[in-house]
Structure 1
Amino acid sequence: MEQTNRKEAELSDDQQELLEKYDSESRVRTHSSKIATLLVSILAISLSLYHMYTSYFGTPVTLQHRSLHVAAILTLVFLLYPPFKKASRTKLPFYDIIFALCAISTSVYIFVDYLGIVNRGGLPNGLDLLFGALLVLLVLEAARRVTGWGLPLLAVLFFLYGLFGREMAGIFRHRGYSWDELVNFMYVTTEGIYGTAIGVSATYIFLFILFGAFLSKSGMGQFFNDLALAVAGQTKGGPAKVAVIASGFLGSINGAAIANVVTTGSFTIPLMKKIGYSRNFAGAVEASASVGGQILPPIMGAAAFIMAETLGIPYSQIALAALLPALLYYTGIIVQIHLRATKQGLRGISKENLPRVLEVLKERGHLLIPLMFLMYMLFFSGRTIIYSALLTILVTILVAMLRKTTRMSLKDIIEALEQGARTSIGVAIACACVGIVVGVATMTGFGLKLANGIVTLGGESLLLTLVFTMIACIVLGMGLPSIPTYIITATMAAPALISMGIEPLVAHLFVFYFGLFANITPPVALAAFAAAGISGGEQMKTGFVSMKLAIAGFIVPYMFVYNDALLLLNTTFVEGLVVVITSVTGVIMLGTAAEGYLFTEMPWPLRIVLFAGSLLFMNPNFIQDIIGFTIIIVVSLLQWQRSKKTTLKQISM
C-alpha cells in the first residue's frame, strides 16, 4: 500500500492537469500573495461555519439567506477562478477584486433595504434594478468561468426569449416581458436566481458536500479502495470490480463523476490494464462506475435532495425508490466485467498483494459509523435533513478520533471547512445560473409548452414520448453539469411524462437518469474522455464501451415507467421480492447478451434472443417470467453444448 500511496503522489500533477482539461471547476488560482490566500481561506471557512450555524439555529429570512449564499459563492469565484485559460493563475487582477465587491453589494443591499423591497411588492425602484442587473451579469460571468460556456449561453438564450418571445410564432409565443420585469423577478423574488435550486444549494447540498470533505480528510477514500481490494481483488477481473465498488460508493458521496474518474481511476485503471483488460475497456469501467454513483443511495450526489424539494416528498421515499435501479445498474456492469475476464482468461490480483478484510475493517472500519448514523437520521429519526447532516459532520469528527490513522488535527478540520466551501462552488454557481433558465420558463410557461410539444411529437404514444424526452435530456446533459441538467429537465421534460399519467417521482427519476448518462454518451462523454486520458485509450471508443457497460442504465428507466414496481412503489413485500429476483435475473441476461459470452462465444442470433428475454424480466408479469426463464434455459443449454464441442475440437488438435 505504501507503493500505491507513492504512486498516487507522483500522479498528483497529472491528475490535476487531466481534471483541468475536462472539468473547468478545477481550473483555480494558486495565489502568490499570502494576503489573497488568507482572504480566500477566511471567506471559505466562514461560509462553512455559517451554514453549520444556521442548520442548527435557523436561517435568516429566505431571500436574505439565499442572497448571502450566492454573494459569498460569487466572491469565491472571482477570487479563485481566472477569466480565461491563459490568464495568470498566481496573480489576482484588480477587476476581479471589483467583481467580488460588487457580488457582496448585491446581498448587502437586500439586508439593508429588505423591508423596502417587501413593501414595494414587485414595483422596483432604480436601485432594485441596478443591483438586479448587476447580479444577473455576475452570475453569468461566474458560471462561464466555473462551468464553461454551455450553461450561461443557455441562460442568455432564455433571457432573450423572455424579452422577445412576443415576436415568435407558434406555441412558444408569449406576451413578452420588459427588462425591468425580468431583472426584478430574478433578483427580489424566490423564483429566479434565488429560487428553489439555490435554496437547496444553500441548505442540503452545501452541508453534504462539507460532510464529504470531512470524510475525505478522515481517509474514507483510502478505506473504500482497500475494502474493495480486499473483497474483490482476488476474483476474476478483480481490479475492475474494485473500480466499480470504490467508485460507486465515493460517487454517491461526492457526486463529482469526472473528479472521481481522475482520482480513483489513477489507481484502478493501471491495475486493470496490468491484468490484461484493454485500454478502452479499463477506462470505460471507471467512467461508467463513477457516473453511476449519483444514482446510488444514500446520498446520490445531492440530487435526491433537490428532487425531494421539487416534488415535496420525503427524501427517504426517493432514496428507497432509487435503490433497486441503482443496484441493477451496477449488477449489469459487474456481469460484463466478469464475463470479459472469463472470456480472456484474466485473473485477479494475487492474495499476498492484497489487504485482508478484517485488517481493513480493524484499521478504518469505524469510518462506516458516520454513514450508518446518517442513514439512521435520514430514515428513522424524524429530524430535518440539514440537522441530520450537521450532526453527522460532528459524528465524523468524533469517530475519526478513535484511531490515530484517521484522527483529524485542528489543521485538518480547518482544511475540511475550507475544502467543503471550495468544492460547493461549482454546484452553487450552476444552481444560481439555472435559476435564470427556470425563472424565465416559469414566467413564460415555456416548460408546459415544451412538454406539450414533446407529447405532440410523440403522437400520444408513450414510448415515442419517452424516446424524445430521453434525447432532450442527453443533449442538455452533454453541455451541463448533472444537477442543473436535472433541474432543467425536471422543469421542461418531466411535465411531458406527467401529462401522460406517469407519477411525478417516476418521471423525475427518468429525466435524471438520462441527463446524468450524458457524461458517458458520445460525442461529448466527458467522464469517458477523462478515463481515456488515464488509460491511454481512444476517447470515442472508450465512450461507446462505457455506454455498453451502462446498458442497464439506459433500459431500466423505461422499465420503471411501464411498471413502477421496479421502484418498489405500490407493492407488497412479496411482490417486491419477486420484482427484485426477476429484475436482477433480467439484468444478468442483459449483461450476458451485451458481452456476448456464456461458457463460450455467443452468436448474434442468441444474443438478440437473450436480450429480448431480459426485457421480459424487467417488466414483471407471470407469463413473461415463464417465457424469460425458458429462454435462459434454452440459451444456456445451447451455449454449454457449443462450449463442449469447442473444447473437444481443441483437445483433438
Structure 2
Amino acid sequence: MTDKQAAMNEADVLVEEVDTGARHPAHWQRHLIPVTAFVWALFQLYYASNLPFYLTDVTGINVIVTSSNARLIHLAFAMFLAAMAFPLFRHSSRRRIPYYDWLLGLLGVVACLYIMVFRNEIANRAGLPTTADLVMSTIGMIVLGISVYRALGLPLVIVASAFICYVFFGHSEFLPDVVQWKGASFGKAMWHYWMQNEGVFGVALGVSASLIFLFVLFGSILEKAGAGNYFIKIAFALLGHLSGGPAKAAVVASALSGLYSGSSIANTVTTGTFTIPLMKRTGFPPEKAGAVEVASSTNGQLTPPVMGAAAFLISEFTGVSYTEIIKHALVPALVSYIALFYIVHLEAQKLDLKGLQKPPSSLTFAGKLMGLLAGFIGMAALGAVVYYGLGWIKIAIPGAAFPVVVVGCAAAYLILLWFASRYPDLEIDPPDAPITELPRAGATAVTGLYYILPIVILIWCIMIERLSPSLSAFWATIAMITVALTQHPIKALMRGNTDIGGAARRGVSEWINGMISGSRNMIGIAVATGAAGVIVGTISLTGAHQVVGEFVEFLSGGNLLLMLILVAIMSLILGMGLPTTANYIVVSSLMAPVIVALGAKSGLIVPLIAVHLFVFYFGILADDTPPVGLAAFAAAAISRADPIKTGIQGFAYDIRTALLPFLFIFNTELLLIDVSPLKGVFVFFSAVIAMLLFAAATQGYFLVRNRIWETVALLVVAFTLFRPGFWLDQVDPPYIDWPGTDIYQVAEAQPADSLLRVSVAGPSFSDADEIIKTTILVPLGETGSGEARLEKSGILVMVDGGQAALEEPFPGTPFESLGREFDFYGGDPVTVSMVQVAKQRLPKEVFYVPALLVLALVVFMQRARVSRTRQ
C-alpha cells in the first residue's frame, strides 16, 4: 500500500468514525446495519409522502404517522444504529456487535416507543410522572448520551451534561448570585426533557425527522449515482489548466458538493481525495493544499439551498420562510466562494504555479470565446426556463401544472441521456494516478447534465409550486431515485448494449447504497439534534440565555463591537467538534438572544435572520479552527501535513468568511433585506469587489506584493465598499432625536406603515436598583392620531409631569418581552427616554467615489512596479 493510499484510508476511517460509523460486522450480522438503515430511509420516505393519507382513505385503517410519533421513531432508529454502527470503545470489535451494544440499542428503542405506546395515559397525567415514566426517561437520557458519545465524541456530551447539571445544581451556593436559579427536582427535569416536546423531542428533532433526513438522503443518492464524481470532473475540465488549477477546481467542486452535503468533513474527504494530491503535485505545500480544501468544504455548509441541513432549523427558529432563508444566505455564500477562488489565484501567483495540460483544440480564440458565452447563456437560459417557463405553466394550467412539468422533465431527461450515451461514462480516477491531459470540458459536461433535473424539480417545488420544504424534498428525492434506477439501463439501450440486466442491477445497487449511506449519515445528525434539544429544554426551563447575556455584557462593558467579538469567539468554542445541525442549535440557542438583547440596549436593532446567520457562520468556522477542527484533521490525513498547521492556514483563508457576519449585522443589504432586484445586483457586485480587495490585503499581494500603505489602503477601500453608511453616519447622523414626551406628536406626523425608533429606560426586572435601556421599533400602521397608532401597535404611554411613562405591554402583544426585562411595578417608572425618526440624507454610495480613487492610485503604483519587473 502506498503512502497516498494509506492517507486516503486514514481519511475514510475518520469520516466513518465521525459521520457514518466504523463498524462493519461479519457473518450473519453483516446485513443488520444495512437493512436497518434501508428500512429507516423507507420509513422517512413514507412519512414525507401522501401515501399514509391515501392508504387511510382506501383501507379505512389509520396508518398516518403523527409528527410526535415520527420524532420518536426517528430517534429510535438513530440510537439503535448508533449502538450497532459506532463502537463504544477504541478496543471494541469492528467485526462483530458485542452484547452490551445490543442491550443499549434495544433499551434506546424501548425508551422511545414507550411514549408512543402509552401516549394517552401519559397525556392524562401531564406533569405527574410515574415511576415507570422516570425509569424510561432516565434510560432514554443515558442511552442518548452514550449514542452522542459514540457518534460525535465528547464535546456535545460535555456541553449537554453541563446544562443538565445547571438544572439540578443551579441553586448551589458556590455559584455566583448572578447565575443562580431555584433548581428543579429529578422528576420535573426528566418529565421536561423526555416525556414532552420541550426537550429531546422538541423542534430540533422534529426538523431532523421531517426535513433534514430527506435532504441528506437526496444528497446521498445523488452522490452514489455519480453526481459527485461528475462535479469534480467538470470542475477540473473547466479550471485545471489555469494557474493553480487543481486548487481552483477544489473550490468549485466543494461548492457544488456543498449544495447537497450535510457535513464539512465528508465534503473535505469526498473532493479532497482527488484535489489535495493534485494541488501538491502542481506545487502547493501540503498545509496549503489541505487548507484550501478545508476552507472550501466548510464554506459549503454556508451555501444554499441545504446549508449543511441547517437551513430548515434556521427557518423554524426565526419564523422566516425557507425560500427567504435561501435568498438571504445567497450573496454572502457567493461572495465568500469568489473570494476564496481569488485567494487561491493569489497563492498560485506568489508560488508561480502552472496549470495542468489542456487537451489539444482546433478552436480559435473567437471559437473559445463563443463557447464560453454559450455556457453562460445556457445557464441563464436554464434559470429562465425554470423560473419563467415553469412559472408560466403554473399560471396557464394551474390544475395540471404538476403532471405537465413531470412529463416535461421526463422528456428532458431522455434527451439529456441520449446526449450522454454518445460518450463513455465518467470513471472515478485513482487519486495518485498521473493526469497527463485534462478531460474536454464540453464532452465532460454532456455526460451528466441530467443530474441537474432533480435539483430543478426541488427548486420548482419550493419556489413556484410553493410546496412545503418537506414535500419538495420528497419529490426531488423520488426524481433522484428514478435517475439512479434508470440512467444505466436506458443509456445501455441507447448504446445498443445487450446487457440491460447488468445495467439495471447497477442502478438498483446505487439506489440501495444511497439509501443506506443517507441513513448512516443521519445517525450523528439525529442524535445530535436530540442532545441539542436538552440544551434548548434547559434554556426554556431555567432562562440560561439571560445568564450568558449578562456575562457577555459584563465582559464587553457595553461596547457593541466587543460584544459581537465575544459572541463570535464563544460561538467558535461552542461549535468545536459538533456536526452542522447541532452546532447551529447550540450557538443559536445561547448566543443569538445575547446579540438581540445587548444590541437593542446599544441602539442596534438587527433582523433576527442576520443574528442567526452571524452565530451560524462562526459555529461552522469551528470545523477548521484548532485545536478540534475535524475538517482540518481530515484534510491533513490526505495531505500528510500537520493538522494544526492545516487548521491555522485554513482559518487564515477563512478570515474573509469571518468578516462577513460583522458586515451584514451593520449592513443588512448584504442579506438582500428590503432591497429591489436591481439594487440586489449592485450590492452583489460591490460586495464581490470589496471582498476581493480584502483578500488581496490579507494575502499581502494584489498585482504584485503589497507595500504596507497599500495593504492599509485596500482595507479602507474594502470597508468603504462594504459599509459606506459608516462614513455617512460620521458626517450626518441617521436620525433626528426627539424627547420621549413628544412621542404622540412624532408618531402622528409619520407616514403610513413607517417604523418609529423608541428608546426605553427603567429599572431592571432582575434588579430594581439597576436602570437599563433598550431600543424597540414600533410599526405605526395607517395614519391617525399618535396615541391611537401607538396603542394599536401595543404601546401605551402616559405623558405627564415632564416624562413619558410606559405601561407594561399586554401578553400576546409584539412587545410583551419588555415585561421580562423591566420592573413596571417598582418605585421608578419605565419611561420613553427618546424617540428617533430617520432623516433624509445623501445616498451613502457617494463614498464609493473617493474609495475608488484610492483604489485607482494603488493599481497605478502596482502596475508601475509590474512594468519595471518585466523590463
Under TM normalisation by the shorter chain, which class is it? over 0.9
Q: Secondary structure at the match of 1:92?
A: coil
What is the correspondence of 1:378-417 to structure 2 with a 5 Å cutoff?
378-400=462-484, 401-403=486-488, 404=491, 409-417=507-515
Structure-2 residue corresponding to 1:94: 99
What is the correspondence of 1:500-515 to structure 2 with a 5 Å cutoff?
500=599, 501-515=605-619
Query: What is the aligned counterpart of 2:451 among 356, 363, 367?
Result: 367
Tell whether the 8 Å contact from 2:21 to 2:520 is kept in structure 1 after alignment: no
Structure-1 residue corresponding to 2:662: 558
What is the correspondence of 1:330-479 to structure 2 with a 5 Å cutoff?
330-352=337-359, 353-400=437-484, 401-403=486-488, 404=491, 409-479=507-577
Tell whether the 8 Å contact from 2:258 to 2:267 is kept in structure 1 after alignment: yes
C-alpha distance in structure 2 between counterparts of 1:488 and 1:519, whole Å: 15
Write the letter of the residue equivalent to 2:303.
L
Deviation at 1:200, TM superposition (A): 0.9
Structure-1 residue corresponding to 2:143: 138
Structure-1 residue corresponding to 2:715: 611
Tell whether the 8 Å contact from 1:469 to 1:493 is kept in structure 2 after alignment: yes
Structure-1 residue corresponding to 2:234: 227
Deviation at 1:448, TM superposition (A): 2.5
- Taking structure 2 as the reference length, the TM-score comes to 0.71
Deviation at 1:474, TM superposition (A): 0.5
Deviation at 1:533, TM superposition (A): 2.2
- For the pair 1:489 / 2:587, whether they are aligned, the reply is yes
Deviation at 1:130, TM superposition (A): 0.8
Mark the CA change 1:464 to 1:70 in structure 2 (over 3 Å): closer, same or farther: same
Query: What is the aligned counterpart of 2:10 among 14, 17, 20?
Result: 17
- For the pair 1:270 / 2:277, whether they are aligned, the reply is yes
- For the pair 1:236 / 2:265, whether they are aligned, the reply is no
Deviation at 1:19, TM superposition (A): 4.1
Structure-2 residue corresponding to 1:323: 330
Deviation at 1:11, TM superposition (A): 6.2
Q: Secondary structure at the match of 1:479?
A: coil
- Taking structure 1 as the reference length, the TM-score comes to 0.94
Structure-2 residue corresponding to 1:80: 85
What is the correspondence of 1:518-597 to structure 2 with a 5 Å cutoff?
518-597=622-701
Between Structure 1 and Structure 2, whose CA radius of gyration is higher? 2
What percent of counterpart residues are identical? 32
Structure-2 residue corresponding to 1:42: 35
Structure-2 residue corresponding to 1:32: 26
Mark the CA change 1:122 to 1:528 in structure 2 (over 3 Å): closer, same or farther: same
Structure richer in helix, relative to its length: 1
C-alpha distance in structure 2 between counterparts of 1:409 and 1:541, whole Å: 42
Deviation at 1:230, TM superposition (A): 1.5
Alignment length (residue pairs):
640
Deviation at 1:12, TM superposition (A): 6.6
Structure-1 residue corresponding to 2:258: 251
Structure-2 residue corresponding to 1:127: 132
Q: Deviations over 1:169-190 (max 9, x none)?
A: 3221111001111111111111
Query: What is the aligned counterpart of 2:119 among 114, 122, 145?
Result: 114
Tell whether the 8 Å contact from 1:336 to 1:594 is kept in structure 2 after alignment: no
Deviation at 1:613, TM superposition (A): 1.6
C-alpha distance in structure 2 between counterparts of 1:107 and 1:519, whole Å: 31
Write the letter of the residue equivalent to 1:638.
M
Q: Deviations over 1:227-259 (max 9, x none)?
A: 101211112211111000001111231121112
Mark the CA change 1:343 to 1:101 in structure 2 (over 3 Å): closer, same or farther: closer
Deviation at 1:26, TM superposition (A): 4.6
Deviation at 1:160, TM superposition (A): 0.9
Structure-2 residue corresponding to 1:186: 193
C-alpha distance in structure 2 between counterparts of 1:431 and 1:590, whole Å: 36
Deviation at 1:574, TM superposition (A): 3.0
Tell whether the 8 Å contact from 2:346 to 2:701 is kept in structure 1 after alignment: yes
Deviation at 1:557, TM superposition (A): 0.7
Q: Deviations over 1:553-575 (max 9, x none)?
A: 01111000001000010112232
Query: What is the aligned counterpart of 2:621 among 506, 513, 517?
Result: 517
Tell whether the 8 Å contact from 1:451 to 1:494 is kept in structure 2 after alignment: no
Structure 2 unaligned segments of length 5 or more: list them.
Answer: 53-63, 360-436, 493-502, 600-604, 725-843
Q: Deviations over 1:64-102 (max 9, x none)?
A: 221111111111111111111121111211111111221
Deviation at 1:27, TM superposition (A): 4.5
Tell whether the 8 Å contact from 2:290 to 2:632 is kept in structure 1 after alignment: yes
C-alpha distance in structure 2 between counterparts of 1:349 and 1:234, whole Å: 5
Range moving further from structure 2, 570-579 or 383-392: 570-579
Structure-2 residue corresponding to 1:3: none
Structure-2 residue corresponding to 1:630: 853
Range moving further from structure 2, 616-625 or 117-126: 616-625
Structure 1 unaligned segments of length 5 or more: list them.
Answer: 1-5, 649-653
Write the letter of the residue equivalent to 1:205.
I
Structure-1 residue corresponding to 2:814: none
Deviation at 1:320, TM superposition (A): 0.8
Higher RCO, 1 vs 2 (CA within 8 Å, ≥6 residues apart):
1
